[in-house]
A and B are shown apart, each in its own frame.
Chain A
Amino acid sequence: MKRRKIDVRALPAKAGNEVEDRLGVATPLRSIINKVFPDHWSFLLGEIALFSFIVLLLTGTFLTLFFEPSLKEVTYDGSYAPLRGVHMSAAYASSLDLSFDVRGGLIMRQMHHWSALVFMAAIIVHMLRIFFTGAFRKPREVNWIIGSLLFWVGFLAGFTGYSLPDDALSGTGLRIASAIMLSIPLIGTWLTSSIFNGEFPGDIIISRFFIAHVLLIPALLVALISVHLALVFKQKHTQWPGPGRTNTNVVGERFFPRYTIKQAGFFMAVAGVIALLAGAMQINPIWLFGPYEAGVVSAASQPDWYVMFLDGSTRLMPAWQINIGIGNGYVIPPIFWPTVVLPGILVGLSTMYPFVEARLNKDNKIHNLLQRPRDVPQRTAVGVMAVTFFLVLTLSGGNDVIADKFNISLNAMTWAGRIGLLILPPLFYWVAYRICLGLQQHDREVLAHGVETGIIRRAPDGRFYEVHQPLSTDHKELEYAGWVVPKKMNRLGALGPAVKGFFKPIERPAEAPVSPGHPPVEAPPERREIESKH
Chain B
Amino acid sequence: MTTPHRSGGLLARMRRRRSVPRSKVRRRIGAATRLLAALVLAGGLYTAFAPAISAQDAPLSPAAMEGKALFDTSCITCHGMNAQGIEGRGPSLIGVGGASVDFQVGTGRMPLGSQNAQAVEKPPVFNEEQTRQLAQYVQELGGGPQIPEGNDLHSGGDIAAGGEIFRLNCSSCHAFGGGGGALSSGKFAPRLSDTTDRVIWGAMLSGPQNMPVFGDNQLSPDEKRDVIAYIQETLGDSNSDPGGFNLGRLGPTTEGLAVFVVGITALIFTALWIAGKS
Residues of A within 8 A of B (CB): 39-45, 47-48, 81-86, 99-100, 106, 110, 114, 117-118, 121-122, 125, 168-169, 253, 262, 265-266, 269-270, 273-274, 276-285, 287-290, 293, 295-306, 308, 394, 397-398, 400-405, 407-412, 502
Cβ B242 vs Cβ A117 within 8 A: no
Distance in Å: Cβ of A363 to nearest Cβ of chain B: 29
Partner of B263, one of A253, A273, A289, A308: A273
By the criterion CB–CB under 8 Å, are B277 and A262 in contact?
A: yes
| Complex Cα–Cα for A84 and B168 (A) | 17
Residue from B172, B188, B244, B260 in contact with A280 in the complex, judged by beta carbons closer than 8 Å: B244
Docked Cα-Cα span, A102 to B244, in Å, equals 17
A284 and B242 CA atoms in complex are apart in Å by 11
Residues of A contacting B273 in the complex (Cβ-Cβ under 8 angstroms): 502
Q: Known contacts being A277-B263, A288-B240, A288-B249, is A298 close to B182, with CB within 8 Å?
A: no
What's the nearest-Cβ distance from chain A to residue B227, in Å?
Answer: 12
A169 to B247, CA, bound (A): 17
Binds A, one of B35-43, B131-139, B201-209, B250-258: B250-258
**Leading 3 A-B pairs by shortest Cβ distance:** A305-B256, A299-B181, A282-B243
Q: Which residue of chain A has its CB nearest to the CB of B180?
A: A404
CB pairs A–B below 8 angstroms (6 shown): A82-B163, A262-B274, A299-B174, A299-B189, A300-B253, A303-B252
Q: Looking across the interface, which residue of chain B has its beta carbon closest to that of A268?
A: B270
Partner of B255, one of A42, A262, A304: A304
User: Per a CB cutoff under 8 Å, which of A41, A86, A276, A278 touches B276?
Assistant: A41
Chain A residues within an 8 Å CB radius of B277:
262
Do B268 and A82 have beta carbons less than 8 Å apart?
no
Is A304 a contact partner of B240 (Cβ separation < 8 A)?
no
B255 touches A285 (CB 8 A): no
Task: Please report the C-alpha to C-alpha distance between residue A303 and residue B248 in the assembled complex, in whole angstroms.
Answer: 16
In the complex formed, the residue of A with least CB distance to B179 is A300
Give the docked Cα–Cα distance between A397 and B248 (Å). Answer: 17
- Interface SS of A by simple majority: helix
Candidates B181, B252, B270; contact of A305 at CB < 8 Å: B252
Contact status of A273 and B275, CB under 8 A, knowing A281-B258, A410-B183: no
- What's the nearest-Cβ distance from chain B to residue A161, in Å? 13
CA distance A500 to B235 in the complex (A): 49
> Most chain-A Cβ atoms within 10 A of its Cβ — which of B177, B182, B185?
B182
Chain A, residue nearest B172 (CB) = A297
- Counted as pairs of residues, one from A and one from B, with CB atoms less than 8 Å apart, the total is 214
**Nearest CB to that of B270 among chain A residues?**
A269
Interface residues of B in 141-197 (CB under 8 A from A): 159-160, 163-164, 167-168, 171-177, 179-186, 188-189
Proximity bits, B216-236, A CB within 8 Å = 1, else 0:
000000000000001001110
In the assembled complex, B86 has its CB within 8 A of some CB on chain A: no
Chain B: residues with Cβ within 8 Å of the partner, total of: 64
Enumerate chain B residues within 8 angstroms of A48, measured Cβ to Cβ.
264, 267, 271
Contacts of B240 in A (CB 8 A): 82, 285, 287-288
Say whether, besides A118-B263, A121-B259, A400-B182, A283 and B160 are in contact (CB < 8 Å): no
Instruction: Select the residue from B160, B179, B189 with max chain A CB neighbours within 10 A.
Output: B160
> Contact between B244 and A84 (Cβ–Cβ < 8 Å)?
no
Q: Does B128 belong to the interface (CB within 8 Å)?
A: no
Chain A residues near B244: list those with CB within 8 A: 110, 278-282
A44-B274, A253-B278 known; A121+B260 contact, CB < 8 A: yes
Check if A118 sits within 8 Å of B264, measured CB to CB: yes
Distance between B68 CB and nearest chain A CB, rounded to angstroms: 35
Answer whether residue B74 sits at the interface, using C-beta atoms and an 8 A cutoff. no
A410-B185 in contact given A39-B278, A290-B164, A300-B175 (Cβ < 8 Å): yes
Q: Is B176 within 8 A of A290, CB to CB? A: yes
Given contacts A305-B255, A401-B250, contact A169 B276 (CB under 8 A): no
A42 to B267, CA, bound (A): 11
Contact present for A296 and B171 (CB under 8 Å): yes
Nearest A residue to B264, CB-CB: A121
Q: How far is the CA of A141 from the CA of B180 in the complex (A)?
A: 47
Contact with B251, one of A84, A266, A302 (Cβ below 8 angstroms):
A302
- Whether, in the assembled complex, B245 has its beta carbon less than 8 Å from a beta carbon of chain A, the answer is yes
Shortest beta-carbon distance, A315 to chain B, in Å? 12
Evaluate contact between B245 and A308: CB separation under 8 angstroms: no
Write out the residue numbers on chain A whose beta carbons fall within 8 Å of the beta carbon of B274.
41, 44, 262, 265-266, 269
With A82-B240, A293-B168, A300-B250: A280-B245 Cβ-Cβ less than 8 Å: yes
> Complex Cα distance A502/B270, Å?
12
- Complex contacts, B183 vs chain A, CB 8 Å: 410
Q: Which of A118, A302, A303, A398 contacts B267 (CB 8 A)?
A: A118
Question: Which chain A residues lie closer than 8 Å to B249 at the CB level?
Answer: 285, 288
Q: How far is the CA of A5 from the CA of B115 in the complex (A)?
A: 95
Contacting residues, chain A, for B257 (C-beta < 8 A): 305
Which A residues are in CB contact (< 8 Å) with B180? Answer: 299, 404
In the assembled complex, the Cα of A151 lies from the Cα of B77 at a distance in Å of: 61
B246 at the interface (CB under 8 A from A): yes
- Residues of chain A lying within 8 A (CB to CB) of residue B263: 114, 117-118, 121, 273-274, 277
Q: Which B residues touch A84, using CB under 8 A?
A: 160
Is the C-beta of B266 less than 8 angstroms from some C-beta in chain A?
yes
A308 B174 Cβ-Cβ under 8 A: no
- B132: min CB distance to chain A, Å: 32
Q: Are B176 and A404 in contact (CB under 8 A)?
A: no
Q: Is B1 an interface residue (CB 8 A)?
A: no
- Asked whether B14 is an interface residue with its Cβ less than 8 Å from the other chain, the reply is no
CB nearest neighbor in B for A270:
B267
Check A39 against B275 for contact (C-beta < 8 Å): yes
Nearest CB in chain A: distance from B225 CB, A:
15
CB distance from B236 to the nearest CB of A (A): 12
Most buried by A among B160, B171, B252: B252
Give every chain A residue within 8 A of B182 (Cβ-Cβ): 299, 400-401, 403-404, 410
Having A40-B275, A283-B255, A288-B176, one finds 4 other A-B pairs with CB under 8 Å, namely A85-B160, A297-B172, A299-B171, A400-B181
